Amino acid sequence: MVSWSRMRRVGAVTAVVTIALGVGVAQAGPTVNASNYSFKPKTITIQKGQTVTWKWVNGSHTVTFVKGSYDKSLNRAHPKRTRTFKRTGTYKYYCRFHRTLGMTGKIVVQ
């Protein structure tokens, strides 16, 4: 029978290796601010596996991807939204309320 202390050591080693290799751990990425009918910065470039955070500053907005894979409100009740990008490509998004005013953005994942 395996001792309890040995099981704890194996668990601790597994956790350290997982963290060191970045397996299953999203990498922090940039923040996009939503205010005054614009996303700032409008275009960002990240690495595959990074997470982008959209931060509400004022107004009522959405983060809506052109291909429909993501559609979240961004307002006082939901001041932050995040998404981890696991595939390379270009992801265009907009605010459903202010798209005609030019509230659009783009994420380039390398």
Angle at alpha carbon of residue 89, lines to 31 and 32, rounded to 5°: 10
**Tens of pLDDT along 12-63?**
444 444 444 444 556 789 999 999 999 999 999 999 999 999 999 999 999 9
For the CA atoms of 29, 96, 106, 30, the dihedral, rounded to the nearest 10 degrees, stands at -10
The share of the chain scoring above pLDDT 90, in percent, equals 70
Q: Residue 1's pLDDT band (boundaries 50, 70, 90)? A: low
Could you give the strand order of the β-sheet that contains 71-74, starting from the edge strand earlier in sequence? Answer: 43-46, 104-109, 89-94, 61-65, 71-74
User: Residue 82: which pLDDT band, with cuts at 50, 70 and 90?
Assistant: very high
Domain limits of the chain? 26-109
Total-model pTM: 0.74
Q: Is 11 exposed, middle or buried (0-12, 13-18, 19+ CB in 10 A)?
A: exposed
CB 73 within 8 A of CB 62: yes
Confidence band for 67, pLDDT divided at 50, 70 and 90: confident
Q: Which CATH architecture has domain 26-109?
A: Sandwich (2.60)
pLDDT at 6 over 90: no
Identify the pLDDT of residue 27.
Answer: 76
